[in-house]
Structure 1
Amino acid sequence: MSSLADRLKRALARKPGTSQAGLAAYCGVKAPSVSQWFSGETKTLKSSSLRKAAEYLGCSRDWLETGLGLPEWEGTIASSPTAEEPRPDYDSDWPFKSFNASDIRALPADQLQMIESYIRAFVDMSKLNNRAA
């Protein structure tokens, strides 16, 4: 498995116009901190820095943190059609345009439970807001 430093270097090298200084500015940290990330001195990033670094580098937060799976640019997320270009297997009854039910079914059980709880929370909140209106 690659180290955090290896993954950072790989992601930075593949995205033109990025730099360690740019990453530091985007993440709201000082340049010496980012230098420690790239040298391997830092083994893990704070959640906020990890999220910002993944956004800046255009990669999956999970991949950047653990090295597991594929970075977004090698997986289906980056190559997913936009909402204006539905997938060929898109079902008109399915409410999401950038992925389909088979994509969801392919996720591990723990991720499915997490997604279900998020959607349930949004549905419940929407119902409460509609009653209050």
Structure 2
Amino acid sequence: MPLSLFKEKVSVIIRKPKGSIKVLNGSKPTYDLFVKAKAILVQNEENMSVNKIQKELALKIKSEIVKTINKSDEIHADLLNLSEKPYRYKHSKWDIQSLNSMDKSLIKDIIVKIKIVENASYKK
């Protein structure tokens, strides 16, 4: 998945993204979302630090997840398929209505970790 940052001055390719969902107990199931990915730095025109790029990537991916969650809430759907895990593995804790009710307040935390593993950048 290619991404551009800092007004097209930095380009990266995200490789091997992995996501997981932690189901938290309560009157309704709540969720912590974890995303880990490796990235290849393709373009870095201004020689920005790798740490700065990793932080910005994590923020951008987190904002995309939040947009998807907001859209899910808007159309009353589970676009990220979050309720599948408690339905499949912890169905005895909640009734079907609790499992099917999805809104953005059920997302407690989103943690994104990106590691740049290769630097194939070039200057223009």
More strand per residue: 2
More helix per residue: 1
Of structures 1 and 2, the one with the larger relative CO (CA 8 A, separation 6+) is 2
Bigger CA radius of gyration: 1
Q: By the TM > 0.5 criterion, same fold?
A: no
TM-score range, shorter chain: under 0.3
Question: TM-score scaled by structure 1?
Answer: 0.22
